[in-house]
Structure 1
Amino acid sequence: MPVIGSKISRRVVLPSFTSRGGYRFPRLTQSTTIGVGFGNCRYRTFTAAEEIHEESHDNGNLKRQHPITGPGTGSSIKLASSSSDTVLPALEILQGGSALQISFDLKEQDNTTTQTNIKSIYHAPWLWYADPTYIHPSSGQRLRRWSHFPGWKIQAVELVHHDPTSKAAAATTTITDIDSTSASIPHPPPPPGCMHSIGTVYDDTFRQPQDKQRQFLKVTWDTTTSATTATTTTETGDSDNPVVSYYDWEWLQRCRYDDQARQERAQNTRITQKQALGRHPNCAKIQEIPYAELFPSDGDYRSAKPDTLLRVLHAVAEQGAVLLKESPILESFLHYDPNSAAIDHDDEQGWTHKSAVAKVGRAMSGGSLSHGTLYGDLFHVRSMPHALNIAYTSVPLSPHQDLTYFESKPGMQLLQCVRREQIRGGESVLVDAIAAAEHLRQVAPPELFQTLCRAHATFGKQRPGADMVYHRPHIVLGGSMGQVVAVHWSPPFEGPPLEIPQDALEDYLMAYAAFERLLDDQLFSSSSNQTSSAFLPPDLDAMLHQYACDYTWERALEPGDILVFNNQRMLHGRRGFELLEDANKDEHNVIHRHLAGCYTNIDDTINTYRVLLRQLPNRENLTVRGFGNGSSGSF
């Protein structure tokens, strides 16, 4: 551990403010230098008092002496210590200043140290690019570009302690014209989940602890190696006024990109059978939330309770689905006549704003529904004679995703049970396709999984007024660890194998059969003479079928239930049903099973979720799992 050297007296200057209100760290006229590895590391502590004198004693303890009152009086002044109960991270400049290595302890949520001396490297171009001074304070837009990196080297690094309760530190940092004597610091700090090196992009920083001691990494740049010609000393500094940058220490730890950090993020955010719903005793259970807890009053979507909305979204993020109970049903839904003329446009607009299912969808997505081109913003799935869509019949619907022929499928799908009368069967079915794909990779021959990642299937929707075609693989890998980040599966809407080479078709059919065996527990129903796939060995077929039986969720929805699920992760289907004897003997003109549904955009929905996550006091311990939208999870 670095040890502070012999006794040195020094003068600390009052923190200054810029003309635009930005807070700047003070400069010290002298510093204590600690030799660390390949470079020099300095360790300092600042105070809000106008001027103090510090002494570094031989035992390594820093003590404050003779504070002089002035601006900032009354602030809590705590100086750093290198005593045995204080662990200082090792900072090491590598490759002649091209990178910085930090060694520190990793801690679990209960703050107990589980690993020590974890080394992570931060490259000079990235530190230069992420300098908080060059992040716009409100939009978060970066004012520097990778390509503009001037080739600077890291000359020195310091771990700086600061007390945010000081009056000086309470100022809001803004982007300023940094002069040669100081640099802006990230205040308020970037909260957990923030990708930016500053915290001013959020308007809810009130939840940040106000009395928390903060640490910053200070980087002093060697600008003599600049690959560009500077026009002012502000750009390159000089020996008396070097260019420096400050980074929030906790933010740097969250942004580690070493192999171990990337592996841990992938492990914590990937979707596996541990999160999958199903019948198996070890399966996750779907959360049931009363609708009245989400909407305690009869307002519009904006009246949703934020904490309950977060519960809904978090359940979908973790298990892929959630069930809302006892929602109100519009009277006009109950009296809807499928044989009548087309719905009046004004009436339809009333439905998309007043119905419970639409209100939930709008609350989840920030106010708007999506993908209404083909079926309307609010659609109805009901049994009816002479149906033009198989969904409007009583036959089974195999597990599938909706609208796979869109470039971006719907994010959430919401289905409200309006009516369920005089039928046997008709249960709703859910299957976690992302978890199933990960399981296929674990248990099946590797070439089957790889084929589904390479071969591009053809998805299409063609009917009067619609002509949509899209080519894509069934399984998409992403992230630095190659986890499954998307699945595209919809057998009823698949076309000819236009993008699959002839000599690869047999391999594709075998891989397709294996995956479908995982996804559809009733692929070979009792009405079929076939009991297994002709493409698969019997033992593999049986193993995949058992997984489908264990990890298929099934429930008969009751009137008032709203099933919410992630259409980009989950497959949904329906068991076939039969009509029971109707008291009016008019079963052909009566709706026996009726669902009202809508879609949301995946990006709008994730945005709502992440914004609500900011309010959690333990946000720093949470990661956002992948949503099946082609992107890996994140912090």
Structure 2
Amino acid sequence: MTTELEIVQDWRVFATEHSLSAVELSGDEAIVTWSDGRKTPLNRFFLRDNCTCSTCYLPLTREQLFEITDAPADLAAASAGIDAEGNLVVGWSDGHKSSYAPGWLRSHAPDAESRAERHAARARPFIWGREYADALQSFDYADIMADDGALWAWLSALRSSGLTLVRNVPVEEEALLAPISRISHLRETNFGRVFDVKSKPRADSAAYTSVNLPPHTDLPTRELQPGVQFLHCLKNEAVGGESVFVDGFAIGEAMRAEHPDEFATITTAPMAFWNRDDRTDYRWTAPAIALNVEGDLDEVRFANFLRGPIDAPAERMGEIYAALRLFQAMTRDPRFFIERRLSSGDMWAFDNRRVMHARREFDPQTGERHLQGAYVDRDEINSRWRVLSRQLGEPC
């Protein structure tokens, strides 16, 4: 094999039980036939763009050096075949050579059947409601701190359901930083690296009072809401103050199925959210429910106590308020929420861009209530989970 065909291996492993049985060139494509009879057309620029030889990829960082615009416009595959190791080998009209492993090709095949398989195999969020109260997954602090397998299981549950409980966290200030350090760094905000959730004389957030807090996500006023919130209970002696959690994805899917018109509105109508005090002024506008490019639920962004006036054409106000009223009513529907009272040493970890949280009013005269919180972005959770998956031999 020439130096030009020295392949830079990906950090991931791409495995397949299917081998390449034939390849033919047709126009702008190399059409491969698999051992199961499937045919995959591969565009010339797609193939050239994904050459991972040591000329096109930097071996040290495994990052792409080649830019597709540097390929000639009339680039063509001059030859294509299957080598002794079962790889697709392409010789290009400009003299370059590329090699592609069957596992990588099958994992990225653009034919409709392969793409449908990948979409079906993709991990879907576990949608829950009141019934999840009895099945809520809890994890032990000591296990998470000592065992990568337990850490992976915790992060897997957090990615799937968006809500987990960690027990036996030391009842010490900033003790929540230890399990977070097993994941990544914090997302710091104007409320600090770690914020204290307790009644304060001069509160700059409703969270720092004793009033009832309706279901909300934190900091919808930011362009990017914090991804995961950690709330550690130090003391919870006051009467009231129960924690309530609502799966925003469950509400979204229920609206999609039961009220499609309101769902279409709530996923497109912009909502303004403001957070202002004498030192800061944060504002952002976006729909209360956001979809990804495939139409799946991606984010919930809502805090009524931070919501500004709706800015929309007069003729749309009726439909927007109908959708908003329905959405808010569903956050109060008992079928969608679970309610728990925290004990000292308990720590919630939940997806702040999916799960809305609430707090019942409490009486500060009946005892002290003190929680500490911190944020970590979704990207950090997902990155740590993927690396652990590779290390533990789990699919990712």
Structure 1 partner of 2:206: 390
Where do 1:402-413 residues align within 5 Å? 402-413=218-229
Q: Does 1:501 align with 2:313?
A: yes
- 3-state SS in 2 of match to 1:280: helix
**Residue 322 of structure 1: aligned partner:** 164
Q: Normalising to structure 2: TM-score of the pair?
A: 0.88
In the superposition, relative to structure 1, how do residues 268 and 394 fare at CA in structure 2: closer, same or farther (>3 Å)? farther
CA 1:459–1:271 in structure 2 vs 1: closer, same or farther (change >3 Å)?
Answer: farther
Report the counterpart of residue 97 of structure 2 in structure 1. Answer: 244
Q: Which amino acid aligns with 2:291?
A: L
1:564-606 Cα deviation digits (max 9, x unpaired): 1111121111123346xxxxxxx37x52x21111111232332
Partner of 1:120: 40
Aligned match of 2:341 = 556
Deviation at 1:459, TM superposition (A): 0.9
Structure 1 residue matching 2:182: 3-state secondary structure: helix
Q: In the alignment, which residue of structure 1 is the partner of 2:285?
A: 471
Aligned position for 1:156:
79
Letter in 1 for 2:177: A
Q: Map 1:103-502 to 2 at 5 A.
A: 103-104=33-34, 116-133=36-53, 134-150=56-72, 151-162=74-85, 215-221=86-92, 223=93, 236-237=94-95, 243-269=96-122, 271=124, 275-280=126-131, 285-296=135-146, 305-330=147-172, 333=173, 355-365=174-184, 368-373=185-190, 375-383=191-199, 387=203, 389-423=205-239, 425-445=240-260, 447-479=261-293, 481-498=294-311, 500-502=312-314
- Residue 23 of structure 1 and its aligned partner are, at CA, apart by 7.3
* Larger RCO, structures 1/2 (Cα 8 Å, 6+ apart): 2
SS in 2 for 1:324: strand
- 1:119 partner amino acid: K
**SS of residue matched to 2:109:** coil
In the TM superposition, residue 94 of structure 1 has moved relative to its aligned partner by 5.3
Report the alpha carbon displacement of residue 328 of structure 1 after superposing the two structures with TM.
0.6
Distance 1:118 1:442 in 2: 35
Q: 1:277 to 1:466 in 2, by over 3 A?
A: same
In 1: Cα distance, 2:171 partner to 2:283 partner: 36
Give, in angstroms, the shift of residue 451 of structure 1.
Answer: 1.6
4+ residue runs over 6 A deviation:
none
Unaligned runs of 5+ in 2: 8-16
Query: What code does the residue aligned with 1:289 have?
Result: F
Q: Which has the higher helix share?
A: 2
Aligned length: 384
For residue 157 of structure 1, what is the amino acid of its counterpart? A
User: Quick one: percent identity of the two aligned structures?
Assistant: 28
Aligned counterparts of 2:337 and 2:297: Cα–Cα separation in 1:
19
Rg comparison, structure with higher value: 1
For the residue of structure 2 that corresponds to 1:398, the secondary structure is strand
Q: Distance in 2 between matches of 1:270 and 1:477?
A: 16
1:511 deviates by 1.3
* Conserved? CA contact 1:370–1:410, under 8 Å: yes
In 1: Cα distance, 2:265 partner to 2:137 partner: 35
Change in CA separation of 1:145 and 1:388 when aligned onto 2, cut-off 3 Å: closer
Q: Check conservation: 2:226, 2:376, Cα contact below 8 A.
A: yes
* Root mean square deviation, CA, Å: 2.7
SS at match of 1:364: coil
Deviation per CA, 1:127-160: give whole Å up to 9, x if none.
0011111111122322222222323223433223
Change (3 A) 1:88 1:494: closer
For the 8 Å contact 1:276–1:284, the answer to whether it is kept is: no
Change (3 A) 1:438 1:261: farther
- Give yes or no for the alignment of 1:102 onto 2:32: yes
Structure 1 residue identity aligned to 2:115: R
Tell me the equivalent position of 1:615: 391
Mark the CA change 1:251 to 1:478 in structure 2 (over 3 Å): closer, same or farther.
same
Partner of 2:10: none
2:37 maps to amino acid:
N
Distance 1:94 1:551 in 2: 55
SS of residue paired to 1:356: coil
Is 1:380–1:597's contact at 8 Å kept on the other side of the alignment?
yes
Contact 2:128 2:250 in 1 (8 A): no
1:93–1:154 Cα contact (<8 Å) kept: no
